[in-house]
Each structure stands twice: as C-alpha cells, then as structure tokens.
Amino acid sequence: MNGKYWYKDMVFYQIWPRSFKDGNGDGMGDLLGVYEKLDYIKSLGCDSIWFSPLYPSPGIDCGYDISDYMDIAAEFGGMDAFRKVLDGAHERGMKVIMDLVVNHTSTEHEWFKKSRERIEPYTDYYIWRPAKANGKLPNNWDSLFEGKAWQWDEVRQEYYMHLFAVEQADLNMDNPIVREEVKNILRFWLDMGVDGFREDVITFISKKEGLPDDRIMPKARGIRYFNHGPHLHEYLDEFRRDVFSKYDCMTLAEAPMVTPEVALKYIDERNEPVLDMMIQFKTQEADCLFTDFVHMPFSLTKLKKAYTKWQNGLEDKGWNMLYIENHDHPRMVSRYGSEKFRDASAKTLAVSYLFLKGTPFIYQGQEIGMSNWYPEDPEMYEDVQTRWQYENVGTKKSAKKRLQRLWYGSRDSARTPVQWSDGENAGFTTGTPWFYVNENYKQVNVASQQEDENSILNFYRKAVALRKSLSAVRFGDYKEYGKSSSVFYTYSREDVHQRILVVCSFSDKAKKWTAPKGFDMDKAKLILSNCGERDSLEFLPYESRVYLWDK
C-alpha cells in the first residue's frame, strides 16, 4: 500500500486454522500447532501466511461469523499464542496477514445484540427493514448460503439482511460510525504488527440505495445490486487513506465475479489503487457453472482462457493473485487433476500456476496433493452452505445423486485435517479430531513425502525455489501458445535476461506436443520436470516441464 510491493516477491501459505495442526490435543487445530510448523512452512519457500479467521466466533461458518474482532479465540490459544506466532513468523522473515470479515458479523456480536435492542449508537449498524405492508420480505434478494437474504428478528420486530448464513448479519457500511469501527479494527492489528489483510467478500459492502427487487438473476437475486455497489470504491479509498497508507501493509480483496476490467478500478497501480490484489473466481470455474455444486466436465480450454485473460488484462497495470485452492472449493487433484495420477497431476497443477506473473498462494495440504473426501453419509458434512444445499436443492433426485453432488461441490472436501503422518489421526491431533480425516492419509501424508526426494512436497519446494530464482517469472511478459489444445497448457515468460517455456499436459494418456514456432528445443535447458529428464516430445500422462533459454 505504500509502493514497496514486497508481496510481489513472496509466496503465501494459507492456513485454515481448525484443520491445520492441533498443538494441545483437544482435536481442534490451533496456534500452538502453527508455531510448531513455522519452519515447515518456511521450508516450502513460503514467506508469508494468510490466516483464515482466528477471532472468537460461534463457528456457524467456521470463523467467518465473528463475535469479537479484537481478540483471538481461546480454542486457537488466545492472544498470547497469536503474538508468539506473529513474532515467530517475523523472526523467520515471514509476513502474516489476517482475514478481515466486515461485510457481516456474527449475530452473537455485541453490536448486533445492542442493535436489535435499538441501543445507540448501534441502532443503524446493520441493515434493518420493516416487513412490507403485505407482510412480505423487504426485497427478493437471495442469501448465498441459505434461502432468502432476510431474517425476522422478534426482539426488534424487523428484518435484518444476511447475504450468507442467518447468523451472519450484514453490516450497514453506509453508516460512517461502522466505517470508523472497521478502521479501529484495522489499526488494532496493524499496530500489533500484522502485515495486511485478506478482505472477505469486500466487494459486497456497499448495497444499492433503496435495495430494489432484482428481476433478472433467477438464482442469485440481488447480486448485481450488492456486488461492486455504488460506494465500494469510496469506502475502500477511505480505509486506504485513513489507515492502510500509514502502514507498510498489503490488501487482498476477495471479489466474486470480478473481471480484469473491473479489478483495475481498484488495483491499477498507475492511479493510486485502493487495493493491492484481488481474488478472482474465474479460474475456479473450469468444471462448474458459477458454483461448485453445478458440476461439469473439466475444460482445460476454459481454464487457460481464464489464466490468459487475467495475465493479459493486468499486464503493466495491476498485480495478479495466483491460486488453485483455498478453503472454499474442493481439492484440485480431484477436480482438474486426477486421483489416479495423483503424483503427476498434483505436480502439473503446481507448475501450471506457479510460473505465472503474480503472487502465488498455496493452501494447506495442497503441497502434498490432498484430495477430496467421499463420506457415505450426508450427515457427516459440517459446512452450513453444504447442509443447506443438501436439504433444499435436488431433493427429488436419488440418494446417490444427492450425495455425489456434495462430493463434487462441498468445500468440506478441502477442510479435512492436514495429513501430517500415517499415524493415528494422520498426526493432526492426539485427541479426537473435530472433523473427519481423509481415509487416504496412510498413502498421502507429509512425513512420507519429506523422505521421498521425488514427492509432491519436494517438487513444490523445487518449483517455488525455481520460481524465485527466475527474473522472467517475476518481471517477464506472458504469452500463451496452442490456445485451442484441450491437452496442453503452454506459455512463455520472457524478460531481457531469459525466456522460459512452461508445458503442462492435462491428459491421462501419453500425448505428442509440438513446440511453438520460434523456440529452438535443441538449445533449451530443461529446468523442471515432474517425470525426470526426458527429451521426447511425447508427454506422459500429466507430465509437465519448464524450459529455459538464457539470452
């Protein structure tokens, strides 16, 4: 935010705290567990951590329903444990960013409790509306998690808006006092030494005046009125001006449905940006329609189009945030890769995005090729969104089809505990894990991959180190080749010193690759490969290679 751009040289690691590592044996991941693993994270070549929420929360949405923004939940070890982790990270030269969830609070937050009682100054902290004269809801907007976006409150005798779970009430960001509260939260953590924020659905904070009915979007009514709303830029600029500009910190905004053109309104480095990076969703949509629950066959061309659109769209103007996994989507090996070819496909997925221009993020467990979880009983799902989907969508379908919809769509697949070893509970906890451990932990775990020079884990280490050593990856231009191929993703990165070519096969069969024009393969140096030193242009299933030409 002050033009230092340190985050452009870094690789981030995302921790979803409940499932990372339990340090005190109560079955829940915690900060003691994180502290134990700081060297592990560093050993991946990651120099920054993004923490999904650590704050006190009733846990309806696993921490994204916050009841106190200025504390750390006791179950994660409280503030002392957090300071220890923060210091430990800084001692290792690593940065730490927090999740800022201010589109909504938990209904257990003091603000909400006072607001529903109309105690000042909290009365207008949330979006309250009376019922319409005919007793109908204030408008027809949908919640993204469960049903309609309104909940009747018996105490206040009004509806409040909730774009997510019923227990996540939307804040009224149009109220200047609420914005002051947000700034106080930001200062609190920045003064403590955190290095920035990932801002949860921040593009939803400004709702269109009058909250009009939406007559167009049938399944996501209202989204065009609350996503990128009228005052979004103004409020983000206020946060930047009053807070972020005074610290050496970074901001990363979650932005559903954003395009590069829209993103540039916020992150264009040539015109005083109000944010540093945005999380786009397009690269998550190569095997589904908008939501993971509407599953489709994976299309490599869709994925490539999305990458290329973002690489070209931000070129020389803004900076990409690069990711393939996070806590909101099922695991990539099971989606764009192949569980049968876990090893090769996990590595190819890594290569496909780690050499793009931008700042890569690695989600816990991705680095060992963790894959989806296939419970036999729908009751085993924990996630609020998944449970609502199960109970309300496709209910006439067969039990098997309904269950499969969850297998492919539920984010719980990415929330099973990290598999540290082949020991009890995958080495995640000595107690009873809060959530199910994926049954494949005996084969897929950190301990066994540490030992194996050719493991997915050690491949990630190599790929990240290589990425950091190549000026073309940090600075070079991007160009895609063979756009229509449904097998290969081929792209080059080039600066004044070097040219690299990245080739990834997404096929489960051997396939012949043709070098693009102008690349003399006889002079190419193979600098990374997931199938050993091979020079045949026939690629093995999910083979990927990175070639270098020094200038």
Min dist CB 190 to ligand NOJ, Å, is 21
Min dist CB 338 to ligand NOJ, Å, is 26
Q: Which residues are identified as catalytic?
A: 200, 254
CA-CA distance, 13 to 543, in Å (whole number)? 25
In the region spanning residues 336 to 395, those forming contacts with ligand NOJ, defined by CB under 6 A, are: none
Task: Give 47 or 65: the residue with its C-beta nearer to ligand NOJ.
Answer: 65
Min dist CB 236 to ligand NOJ, Å, is 17
Q: Per the omega criterion (within 30 degrees of 0), is the bond before 121 cis?
A: yes
Task: Give 205 or 437: the residue with its C-beta nearer to ligand NOJ.
Answer: 205
Interior/surface letters 237-260, b for 16+ CB within 10 angstroms, e for the rest = bbbbeebbeebebbbbbbbbebeb
Min dist CB 109 to ligand NOJ, Å, is 14
Per-residue contact track with ligand NOJ, 96 to 115, x per CB under 6 A? -----x--------------
Residue 47 found at the interface with ligand NOJ (CB under 6 A): no
Structure token pair of residue 393: 């969508």
SS3 assignment for 205-238? CCCCCCCCCCCCCCCCCCHHHHCCCCCHHHHHHH
Residue 86 amino acid letter:
L
Residue 404 amino acid letter:
Q
CA-CA distance, 166 to 58, in Å (whole number)? 13
Min dist CB 164 to ligand NOJ, Å, is 4
Residue 200 found at the interface with ligand NOJ (CB under 6 A): yes
CA-CA distance, 295 to 284, in Å (whole number)? 11
Min dist CB 45 to ligand NOJ, Å, is 25
Residue 435 found at the interface with ligand NOJ (CB under 6 A): no
Task: Give 52 or 440: the residue with its C-beta nearer to ligand NOJ.
Answer: 52
Residue 195 found at the interface with ligand NOJ (CB under 6 A): no
Figure out which of the listed residues 167, 214, 325, 328 binds ligand NOJ, where binding follows CB under 6 A: 328
The secondary structure of residue 241, as a DSSP letter, is H
Radius of gyration of the chain (CA): 23
- Are 351 and 544 in contact by the 8 Å Cβ rule? The answer is yes
Residue 199 found at the interface with ligand NOJ (CB under 6 A): no
Task: Give 96 or 201: the residue with its C-beta nearer to ligand NOJ.
Answer: 201
Residue 201 found at the interface with ligand NOJ (CB under 6 A): yes
With tokens 């106080």, the residue in question is 184
> What is each CA distance from 304 to 129, 235, 449, 515, 529, in whole angstroms?
44, 34, 30, 17, 20
CA-CA distance, 181 to 102, in Å (whole number)? 10
Task: Give 300 or 414: the residue with its C-beta nearer to ligand NOJ.
Answer: 414
Residue 64 found at the interface with ligand NOJ (CB under 6 A): yes
Task: Give 85 or 171: the residue with its C-beta nearer to ligand NOJ.
Answer: 171
CA-CA distance, 517 to 520, in Å (whole number)? 8
Task: Give 37 or 411: the residue with its C-beta nearer to ligand NOJ.
Answer: 411
Of the chain, the end-to-end C-alpha distance in Å amounts to: 34
By rule CB under 6 A, what count of residues binds ligand NOJ? 9
Min dist CB 327 to ligand NOJ, Å, is 6
Task: Give 276 or 543: the residue with its C-beta nearer to ligand NOJ.
Answer: 276
Per-residue contact track with ligand NOJ, 5 to 44, x per CB under 6 A? ----------------------------------------
Tell me the helix, strand and coil percentages in the chain, rounded to 5: 35, 15, 50
Min dist CB 163 to ligand NOJ, Å, is 8
Figure out which of the listed residues 22, 30, 47, 61 binds ligand NOJ, where binding follows CB under 6 A: 61
Q: Report which of 460, 440, 223 is spatially closest to residue 364, judged by C-alpha positions.
A: 460
Q: Looking at beta carbons, which residue is closest to ligand NOJ?
A: 64
Residue 475 DSSP SS3: helix
Min dist CB 385 to ligand NOJ, Å, is 7
In the region spanning residues 214 to 273, those forming contacts with ligand NOJ, defined by CB under 6 A, are: 254
Structure token pair of residue 276: 């540093």
In the region spanning residues 144 to 183, those forming contacts with ligand NOJ, defined by CB under 6 A, are: 164
Task: Give 55 or 64: the residue with its C-beta nearer to ligand NOJ.
Answer: 64
CA-CA distance, 348 to 329, in Å (whole number)? 19
- Are 160 and 170 in contact by the 8 Å Cβ rule? The answer is yes
Per-residue contact track with ligand NOJ, 504 to 533, x per CB under 6 A? ------------------------------
> What is each CA distance from 112 to 107, 119, 125, 221, in whole angstroms?
6, 10, 8, 25
Contact residues for ligand NOJ, defined by CB under 6 A = 61, 64, 101, 164, 200-201, 254, 327-328
